[in-house]
């Protein structure tokens, strides 16, 4: 349910309303828009329908949200969500988020070398996996905590926020000690225990679309995180499975304006995992910006042939630099905010 407050609703009335909602056994989230303040009330649908919300002072109207996702919906928040990822990096509202780095953390020297190159190219967030969700149990599984420590040190040295994947609810506390943003990978998009767990933290979450998930499924997964109390979720389109084996996945670019119409959450594109092909990544990066994406997530390696994971899809630093330069020009042309190098 969405409670629309009267324009003259006082702060005292609002806090009384929040107390009442909590007493009724529901959770809530306040959305302060330019024109109106709304309170999204979440809980069991049947009980919500019969709750006497309209009788509370300061309430103008009570509407039910028709979409299955509530807090993630445009109905609850009409303006785009804009938030900070740390070190002055903003996402949403026209800001370009440029996440780059190797698929996996392989060692300190190599990560530092790649990080310096992507930072010089204009990336504003460093990525690198310490826990890798590999299809084969015999493939490199990541450096674990040692990798997290390396990522943190390199991020700190270069003043870049860092993002890394968390695969298990039991790892959330450990990973949160070393990262600025959690990544939930495609394979875990519907790991609801994991979504609840990261939802209870204060760190932003990069939520990747599952390979067989609809846009609505993606938004329902985001809803789990929002409903657990964490409002900083970034959606990521990374391609879905198709019959065509000429690309690793099928990039669904329409998901960008589609999700934006349905939700206030920022959405970025990962053309690396979507195509699996360095020759297609530049064109798909430009297309993502043109489609309205809030940024792109690209794997970069200084020596792809030696990479321990996803080497064949990595861009070389100089290729990445060229892509960023053209994305910046395109973004400027489209009236978007071009990030200052960090």
Catalog residues that contact ligand PEP under the rule CB under 6 A. Answer: 103, 129, 133, 185-187, 208, 238, 270, 273
Check: CB of residue 257 under 8 Å from CB of residue 269: no
167 lies in the site for Mn ion, by CB under 5 A: no
Query: How far apart are CB 132 and ligand PEP at their closest, in Å?
Result: 7
185 binds, among ligand PEP, Mn ion, none (CB under 5 to 8 A by kind): ligand PEP
Query: How far apart are CB 2 and ligand PEP at their closest, in Å?
Result: 32
Pairing of strands 97-101, 27-32: unpaired
310 lies in the site for Mn ion, by CB under 5 A: yes
Q: Which of 103, 175, 251, 269 binds Mn ion (CB under 5 A)?
A: 103
Query: How far apart are CB 102 and Mn ion at their closest, in Å?
Result: 8
105 binds, among ligand PEP, Mn ion, none (CB under 5 to 8 A by kind): none
Helices and strands (DSSP H and E) totals, the chain:
11, 14
For the window 48-87, what string marks contact with Mn ion as x by the rule CB under 5 A?
A: ----------------------------------------
Check: CB of residue 205 under 8 Å from CB of residue 180: no
Q: Which is nearer to ligand PEP, 28 or 131 (CB)?
A: 131
Distance, CA of 53 to CA of 15 (rounded, Å): 14
- DSSP-derived secondary structure letter, 104: B
Check: CB of residue 38 under 8 Å from CB of residue 17: no
How far is residue 314 from each of residues 3, 185, 202, 249, measured CA to CA in Å? 47, 18, 31, 15
Query: How far apart are CB 148 and ligand PEP at their closest, in Å?
Result: 15
Task: Give the residue from 173, 128, 174 showing the smallest Cα distance to 155.
Answer: 128
Q: Which is nearer to ligand PEP, 135 or 340 (CB)?
A: 135
Q: Which is nearer to Mn ion, 53 or 97 (CB)?
A: 97
Query: How far apart are CB 85 and ligand PEP at their closest, in Å?
Result: 17
Distance, CA of 292 to CA of 177 (rounded, Å): 33
Distance, CA of 126 to CA of 271 (rounded, Å): 16
Structure tokens at 96: 């370009």
Strand partners, 97: 295
Query: How far apart are CB 265 and ligand PEP at their closest, in Å?
Result: 17
Q: Could you list the residues that contact Mn ion (CB under 5 A)?
A: 103, 310
């Amino acid at each position: 349910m969405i409670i629309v407050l009267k324009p003259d609703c006082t702060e005292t009335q609002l806090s009384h309303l929040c107390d009442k909602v909590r007493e009724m056994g529901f959770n809530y989230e306040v959305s302060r828009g330019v024109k109106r303040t709304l309170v999204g009330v979440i809980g069991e649908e049947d009980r919500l329908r019969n709750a006497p919300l309209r009788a509370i002072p300061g309430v103008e109207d009570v509407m039910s949200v028709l979409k299955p996702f509530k807090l993630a919906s445009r109905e609850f928040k009409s303006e785009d969500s804009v938030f900070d990822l740390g070190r002055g990096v903003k996402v949403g509202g026209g800001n370009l988020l440029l996440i780059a780095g190797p698929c996996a953390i392989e060692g300190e020297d190599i990560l530092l070398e790649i990080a310096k190159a992507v930072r010089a190219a204009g990336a504003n967030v460093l990525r690198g996996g310490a826990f890798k969700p590999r299809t084969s149990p015999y493939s490199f599984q990541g450096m674990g905590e040692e990798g997290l420590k390396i990522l943190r040190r390199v991020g700190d040295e270069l003043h870049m926020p860092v993002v890394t994947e968390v695969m298990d609810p039991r790892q959330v506390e450990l990973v949160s000690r070393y990262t600025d943003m959690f990544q939930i990978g495609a394979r875990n998009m519907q790991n609801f225990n994991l979504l609840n767990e990261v939802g209870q933290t204060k760190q932003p979450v990069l939520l990747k679309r599952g390979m067989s998930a609809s846009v609505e499924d993606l938004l329902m997964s985001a809803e789990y995180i929002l409903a657990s109390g964490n409002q900083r979720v970034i959606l990521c389109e990374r391609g879905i499975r198709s019959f065509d084996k000429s690309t690793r996945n099928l990039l669904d670019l329409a998901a960008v304006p589609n999700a934006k119409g349905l939700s206030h959450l920022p959405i970025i594109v990962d053309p690396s995992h979507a195509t699996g092909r360095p020759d297609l990544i530049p064109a798909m990066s430009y297309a993502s910006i043109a489609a309205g994406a809030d940024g792109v997530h690209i794997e970069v390696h200084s020596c792809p042939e030696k990479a321990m994971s996803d080497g064949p899809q990595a861009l070389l630093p100089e290729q990445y630099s060229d892509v960023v330069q053209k994305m910046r020009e395109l973004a400027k042309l489209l009236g978007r905010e071009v990030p200052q190098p960090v």
